């Protein structure tokens, strides 16, 4: 069977996958239908941060599925409370609202910020503004793409909701200039992922925290990709020792096997919700809660945050030492690294295809940046295996 042709014939073309058909995966390794092995250097955009098929996650999943899997929030369960209790303790915040996907958690944050603005800051009704960054990526819903600066995300999907102000990423003064009496929140990624693993200047988040405190504005951070150990800290904002008012989490929270997300915030922010003001049939169901609880336990008990810092430093050093005329910049934190290529020589997608042929799974963004974000369980030997092939592919581009 031609699996790629079949998939293309029945699937809307909203993705452009690499030409490989995967059948199984374990840890940092995947195999295709022909039995060929690949090193996963993407981990499903951080969703598989714990590695493929982690035994503790699978055990918890099967145990919970065999007793009580999905029931709506119309009833209490014995697992949701412990899951969210651990989550708020890890984040240093007070309360959480569970959802399914990262985009849903972002939508939850937007609703919370606006209602907080009206009820606690006394912004006139329907006048609340949220400041966002250019080149942001917070998801694909119509509200979210409406405040994207990438026209390809917006094309053909309007009209869009108002109430958002775009400013340059990494420019605290631009945020200061955009704040008005109707500003309820600043919503940003502490490191921009889809934009190409863009790290802001040192002190940027601290400046935003100070600005938000000065003007009674919420600071909400989207850490769907950067959170839960990816950057060598539990959360990327901890590199600057700040505390947000709201934190958006997802991907790795589901242990690589199930969609789990949450919006976590201070008590003052989260108390704006009341029965019927927000909801989700599957958000916070028993299976999701059990998996999320186990994922948090695995990250802590297997010291994956520390491993990300150590292995990320090693991978960064290896990537920066490569000799190739196509590399313009190597940037990132922890096990989240972007390699910007010179598109006058080759596209990042072409490099991805070459890496695939050599047994390494990666994915470009915007045709300009290669992303390397392996599971946090990766070892030095496995990095060396991948780097041997990455260096070989990059060396071929030297003329």
The reply to whether 110 and 86 lie within a common domain is: yes
Is residue 108 pLDDT above 90, yes or no?
yes
- 142 and 44, same domain (yes or no): no
The band of 240, judged by pLDDT with boundaries at 50, 70 and 90, is very high
Quick one: pLDDT at residue 91?
98
Eight-class DSSP state of 263: E
Residue appearing with tokens 């915030």? 265
Same domain? For 160 and 297 the reply is: yes
Contact between 246 and 265 under an 8 Å Cβ cutoff? The reply is yes
Q: Are residues 37 and 70 in the same domain?
A: no
Looking at residue 72, what is its pLDDT? 86
Looking at the DSSP bridge assignments, the partners of residue 188 are 221
Q: Kindly give the residue spans of alpha helices, DSSP state H, lying in 123-203.
A: 142-146, 151-154, 172-178
Distance between CA atoms of residues 176 and 215, nearest Å: 9
Q: Does one domain contain both 171 and 281?
A: yes
Residues 6+ apart with CB under 8 A from 302: 377
pLDDT tens sequence across 142-184: 999 999 999 999 999 999 999 999 999 999 999 999 999 999 9
Cα separation, 45 vs 343, in Å, equals 23
Locate tokens 């709201």: which residue? 246
Q: How distant, in Å, are the alpha carbons of 46, 255, 301, 316 from that of 342?
A: 25, 35, 41, 19
Last residue of a domain, one of 268, 301, 334: 301
Percent of the chain with pLDDT over 90: 97
Determine contact, residues 286/79, Cβ cutoff 8 Å: yes
Please indicate, yes or no, whether residues 276 and 328 belong to a single structural domain of this protein.
Answer: no
Query: What's the mean per-residue pLDDT of the chain?
Result: 97
Beta carbons within 10 angstroms of residue 236's beta carbon: 23
Residues 180 and 263 in one domain: yes
Could you report the per-residue pLDDT of 67-105, keeping only the tens digit for each?
A: 999 888 999 999 999 999 999 999 999 999 999 999 999
* In a shared domain, residues 232 and 88: yes
Residues 6+ apart with CB under 8 A from 171: none
Q: How confident is the model at residue 397 (pLDDT cuts 50, 70, 90)?
A: low
CA distance 228 to 43: 13
399 confidence band (pLDDT: 50, 70, 90) = very low
Residue 261: give the domain boundaries.
55-301
Question: Above 80 in pLDDT, residue 109?
Answer: yes
Phi, psi of 329 (to 5 degrees): -160, 145
Mean pLDDT across 48-67:
98
Residue 282 and residue 330 in one domain: no
What would the mean pLDDT of 340-360 be, rounded to a whole number? 95
Same domain, 330 and 210: no
Q: Mind giving me the DSSP string for 331-379?
A: EEETTEEEEEE-TTT--HHHHHHHHHHTTEE-EEETTTEEEE---TT--
CATH of the domain at 61: 3.40.640.10
DSSP state of 399: -
Q: Which of 381, 365, 287, 371 is nearest to 46 (CA)?
A: 371
> Does position 59 have pLDDT exceeding 50, yes or no?
yes
Domain end (from 301, 335, 370): 301
Please tell me the distance from the alpha carbon of residue 396 to that of residue 386, in angstroms, as a whole number: 16
Are both 248 and 318 inside the same structural domain? no
Query: How many residues are recorded in the chain?
Result: 399
Give the number of C-alpha atoms closer than 13 A to the C-alpha of residue 190, restricted to the C-beta side: 36
Inter-residue contact 360 to 38 (CB < 8 Å): yes
User: Do 369 and 263 fall within a single domain?
Assistant: no
Instruction: Give the residue numbers annotated as catalytic, written as ranges.
Output: 137, 222, 251
Domain finish residue from 246, 276, 301:
301
Q: Encode pLDDT of 257-312 as tens digits.
A: 999 999 999 999 999 999 999 999 999 999 999 999 999 999 999 999 999 999 99
**Model-wide pTM > 0.85:** yes
Structurally, how many domains does the chain consist of? 2
Mean pLDDT of 37-54: 98
The stretch 369-384 carries a mean pLDDT of 98
> Which distant-in-sequence residues (6+ apart) come within 8 Å of 197 by Cβ?
191, 331, 332, 336, 337, 338, 369, 371
Q: Which residues pair with 167 in a beta bridge?
A: 133
Domain at 368, CATH number: 3.90.1150.10
Nearest Cα neighbor of 302 from 354, 382, 378 is 378
Query: Residue 63 burial (CB < 10 Å; 0-12/13-18/19+)?
Result: exposed
Separation between Cα atoms, residue 193 and residue 66, nearest integer Å: 37
């Amino acid at each position: 069977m031609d699996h790629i042709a079949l998939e293309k014939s029945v699937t809307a073309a909203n993705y452009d996958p690499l030409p490989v058909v995967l059948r199984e995966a374990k840890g940092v390794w995947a195999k295709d239908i022909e039995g060929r092995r690949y090193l996963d250097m993407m981990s499903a955009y951080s969703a598989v941060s714990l590695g493929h098929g982690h035994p503790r996650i699978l055990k918890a999943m099967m145990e919970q599925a065999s007793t009580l899997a999905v029931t709506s929030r119309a009833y209490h369960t014995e697992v949701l409370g412990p899951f969210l209790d651990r989550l708020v303790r890890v984040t240093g915040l007070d309360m959480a609202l569970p959802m399914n996907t990262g985009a849903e958690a972002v939508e939850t944050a937007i609703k919370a910020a606006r209602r907080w603005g009206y009820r606690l800051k006394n912004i006139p009704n329907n006048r609340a503004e949220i400041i966002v960054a250019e080149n942001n990526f917070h998801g694909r819903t119509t509200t979210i793409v409406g405040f994207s600066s990438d026209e390809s995300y917006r094309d053909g999907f309007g009209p869009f909701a108002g109430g958002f102000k775009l400013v340059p990423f990494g420019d605290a003064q631009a945020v200061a200039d955009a704040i008005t009496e109707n500003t309820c929140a600043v919503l940003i990624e502490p490191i921009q992922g889809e934009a190409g693993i863009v790290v802001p200047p040192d002190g940027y988040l601290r400046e935003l925290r100070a600005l938000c405190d000065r003007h009674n504005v919420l600071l909400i951070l989207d850490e769907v990709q950067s959170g839960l150990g990816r950057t060598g800290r539990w959360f990327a904002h901890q590199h600057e020792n700040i505390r947000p008012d709201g934190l958006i989490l997802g991907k790795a929270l589901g242990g690589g096997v199930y969609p789990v997300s949450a919006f976590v915030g201070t008590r003052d922010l989260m108390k704006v919700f009341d029965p019927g003001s927000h909801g989700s049939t599957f958000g916070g169901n028993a299976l999701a809660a059990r998996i999320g609880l186990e994922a948090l336990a695995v990250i802590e008990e297997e010291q994956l945050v520390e491993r990300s810092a150590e292995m990320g430093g090693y991978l960064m050093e290896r990537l920066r030492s490569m000799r190739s005329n196509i590399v313009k910049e190597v940037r990132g934190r922890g096990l989240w690294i972007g390699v910007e290529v010179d598109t006058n020589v080759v596209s990042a997608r072409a490099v991805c295809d070459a890496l695939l042929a050599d047994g390494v799974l990666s994915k470009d963004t915007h045709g300009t940046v290669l992303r390397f974000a392996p599971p946090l369980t990766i070892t030095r030997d496995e990095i060396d295996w991948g780097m041997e092939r990455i260096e070989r592919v990059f060396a071929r581009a030297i003329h």
